[in-house]
């Protein structure tokens, strides 16, 4: 097939987003897209997914045969050639006066489920394979794309190495929740067994028991202690029976891991990172964000006054760009919560008992949404409520051992980032592992980072879908991933 011969190409179309940015001056163009509405047997609102804005195609009366007009139904796909002129109508700046029109694919109007009207997000979730054709999901997924792209750009500019950590892992040593087992052994009870009756995984595909990854962090630390700075960005799986608006069984996570970073460096990076990708979306997806902002405002009209956001979506994002996150220690947070009127009036479901307690989401929400009214970074948590690999802080008061952990809490979402400086001292790390029953032998490869040239290092994990929720204002996490996997649900 000859290359570079544009005349032979089927697709010489101009994208509608690009076309709408030009001035209408009688130019001849070809567009392709899907019908959103067909009014008056004369006006087609054509959408090609490049933007929520439709192109108005004008059909001269009598020019096209009746049989063709009948086929211009919602979501039918069309190829149209014609000239671009200033619109005579008020809703748009240009019209495409159609010279030729070809129906590429019909769409049976009686069966097509989307209508030119408002649909509930719940209904659209049931037709997740078609919901991209709506304005809301068009905007959400274009923004999701931009955020993903910005993430790579941010780390690339900083010289981080993008590391692909394994999806299938053998380590189940982290104790981070339920895992999905990966096996080729039969499930009908005929799998080979050991003498004690347990499954003999030596006979399995990998010769051992394997699972889908719950985090790439431990592998990430291996990369960081060689490249200096790495990040992962990939799918993560949790088999927890969580049924909430912010949990998925399959989600995407970004996990940077940096050698020669302490906790403060870590917080600085996380904050800069979040701001960078929001800014990127604000600059590249302004229209989509404005649409989503309007959608959210509309949705919140149905809520009682006290449940509505104080800021609009755009306003909130600008606020995050222009204001530093509030940073405070766990210990200070407990004090604030204890002294709050909310607590004194016993309005917390879980009373603030004092130092050492795990913060409940109502406490986090109080700090973020009521007290500080901005994103908050909490750090230096009690060791007892945090993971084994977090660095033990020196010089803690007796009975108040803390670790160099930090969580970033966002309004409306809750925890969006969890990170820490890692325990780089081999002895401390091993002692801690033994204390909480994590098999030291199984993680021999991880501990090698501490054996051979250990360095202070830190990292964090950011839930991508929660970030997309924050930026798009979508309240249910199932609406920011194309095909959500949740307990009891894996359609499509």
116 vs 166 by CB, closer to RNA: 116
Which residues are within 8 A (CB) of 128 and not within 5 positions of it... i.e. 6 or more apart?
A: 482, 483, 484, 491, 492
By the rule CB under 7 A, 119 interacts with RNA: yes
Interacting residue with RNA among 244, 268, 294, 324 (CB under 7 A): 244
Minimum CB distance to RNA smaller for 120 or for 198: 120
By CB under 7 A, how many residues form the interface with RNA?
A: 71
251 part of the interface to RNA, by CB under 7 A: yes
Give the CA radius of gyration of the chain. 27
User: Taking the complex as a whole, how short is the minimal distance between the CB of residue 142 and RNA, in angstroms?
Assistant: 21
* Structural contact between residues 415 and 359, judged by C-beta atoms closer than 8 angstroms: no
Q: Does 135 interact with RNA (rule: CB under 7 A)?
A: no
* CB-CB contact of 170 with 209 (8 Å): yes
Which of 139, 465, 473, 480 is close enough to bind RNA by CB under 7 A? 465
Nearest CB to RNA, comparing residues 240 and 287: 240
Binds RNA (CB under 7 A): choice among 14, 45, 337, 368: 45
Cβ neighbours around 88 below 10 Å, total: 7
Q: In sequence order, which residues have a C-beta less than 8 Å from that of residue 303 and are 6 or more positions away?
A: none
Kindly tell me which residue out of 463, 468, 471, 472 binds RNA, with binding defined by CB under 7 A. 463
- Distances, alpha carbon 22 to alpha carbons 69, 289, 346, in Å: 28, 22, 61
Cα–Cα distances in angstroms (integers) from residue 317 to residues 245, 308, 314, 452, in the given order: 21, 16, 5, 43
CB of 215 to RNA, least distance (A): 7
Query: Could you tell me how many residues make up the chain?
Result: 492
Q: Pick from 105, 177, 207, 439: which binds RNA (CB under 7 A)?
A: 177
Phi, psi of 457 (to 5 degrees): -155, 165
122 is a site residue for RNA (CB under 7 A): yes
Is residue 334 a contact residue for RNA (CB under 7 A)? no
Rounded to whole angstroms, how far apart are CA atoms 412 and 139? 20
What's the CA gap between 362 and 349, in Å, rounded? Answer: 8
Span 339-398, contacts to RNA by CB under 7 A: 350, 358, 360-362, 365
Which of 156, 245, 323, 324: binder of RNA (CB under 7 A)?
Answer: 245
In the complex, least distance from residue 190 CB atom to RNA, rounded to whole angstroms: 26
The answer to whether residue 187 forms part of the interface with RNA (CB under 7 A) is no
Q: Residues 13, 131, 144, 238: which binds RNA (CB under 7 A)?
A: 238
Least Å from the CB of residue 226 to RNA: 23
Region of 21-29, 111-119, 261-269, 310-318 interacting with RNA (CB under 7 A): 111-119
Alpha carbons 172 and 211: distance in angstroms, whole number: 8
With CB under 7 A as the contact rule, the residue among 248, 317, 337, 367 that binds RNA is 248
Among 238, 234, 151, 221, CA closest to 467? 151
Rounded least distance, CB 476 to RNA, Å: 4
Using CB under 7 A as the binding rule, the residues of this chain from 200 to 219 that contact RNA are: 215
Residues in 388-447 at the binding interface with RNA, rule: CB under 7 A:
414-418
Closest by Cα among 221, 271, 261, 272 to 421: 261
Positive or negative CA dihedral for 220, 413, 409, 382?
negative
Q: Which one among 13, 142, 144, 466 touches RNA, defined by CB under 7 A?
A: 466
Cβ-based neighbour number of residue 286 at 10 Å: 11
């Amino acid at each position: 097939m000859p290359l570079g011969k544009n005349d032979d190409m089927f697709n010489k179309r101009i994208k509608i987003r690009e076309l709408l940015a030009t001035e209408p001056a009688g130019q001849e163009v070809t567009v392709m897209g899907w019908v959103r509405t067909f009014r008056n047997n004369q006006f087609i609102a054509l959408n090609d997914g490049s933007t929520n804005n439709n192109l108005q195609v004008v059909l001269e009366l009598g020019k096209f045969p009746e049989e063709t007009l009948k086929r211009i139904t919602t979501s039918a796909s069309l190829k149209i050639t014609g000239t671009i002129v200033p619109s005579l109508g008020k809703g748009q700046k240009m019209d495409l006066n159609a010279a030729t029109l070809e129906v590429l694919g019909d769409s049976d109007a009686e069966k097509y489920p989307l209508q030119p009207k408002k649909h509930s997000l719940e209904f659209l979730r049931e037709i997740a394979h078609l919901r991209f054709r709506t304005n809301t999901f068009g905007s959400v997924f274009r923004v999701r794309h931009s955020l993903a792209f910005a993430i790579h750009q941010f780390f690339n500019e900083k010289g981080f190495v993008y590391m692909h950590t394994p999806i299938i892992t053998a380590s189940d040593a982290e104790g981070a929740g339920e895992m999905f087992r990966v096996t080729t052994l039969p499930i009908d009870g005929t799998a080979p067994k050991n003498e004690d009756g347990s499954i003999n995984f030596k006979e399995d595909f990998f010769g051992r028991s394997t699972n889908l990854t719950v985090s790439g962090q431990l592998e990430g630390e291996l990369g960081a202690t060689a490249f200096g700075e790495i990040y992962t960005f990939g799918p993560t799986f949790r088999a927890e029976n969580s049924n909430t608006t912010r949990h998925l069984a399959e989600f995407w996570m970004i996990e940077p891991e940096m050698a020669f970073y302490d906790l403060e460096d870590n917080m600085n990076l996380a904050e800069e990172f979040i701001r960078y990708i929001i800014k990127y979306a604000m600059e590249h997806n302004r229209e989509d964000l404005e649409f989503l902002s309007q959608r959210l405002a509309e949705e919140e009209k149905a809520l009682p006054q006290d449940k509505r956001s104080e800021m609009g979506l755009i306003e909130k994002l600008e606020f995050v760009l222009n204001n530093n996150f509030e940073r405070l220690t766990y210990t200070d947070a407990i004090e604030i919560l204890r002294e709050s009127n909310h607590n004194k009036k016993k309005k917390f479901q879980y009373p603030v008992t004092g130092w050492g307690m795990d913060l409940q989401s109502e406490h986090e929400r109080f700090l973020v949404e009521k007290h500080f009214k901005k994103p908050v970074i909490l750090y230096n948590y009690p060791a007892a409520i945090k993971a084994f690999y977090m660095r033990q802080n020196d010089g803690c008061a007796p009975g108040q051992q803390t670790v160099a952990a930090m969580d970033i809490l966002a309004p409306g979402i809750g925890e969006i980032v969890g990170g820490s400086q890692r325990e780089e001292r081999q002895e401390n790390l091993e002692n801690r592992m033994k204390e909480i029953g994590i098999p030291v032998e199984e993680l021999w490869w991880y501990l090698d980072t501490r054996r051979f040239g250990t360095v202070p290092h830190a990292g964090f994990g950011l839930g991508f879908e929660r970030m997309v929720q924050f930026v798009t204002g979508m309240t249910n996490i199932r609406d920011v991933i194309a095909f959500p996997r949740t307990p009891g649900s894996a359609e499509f």
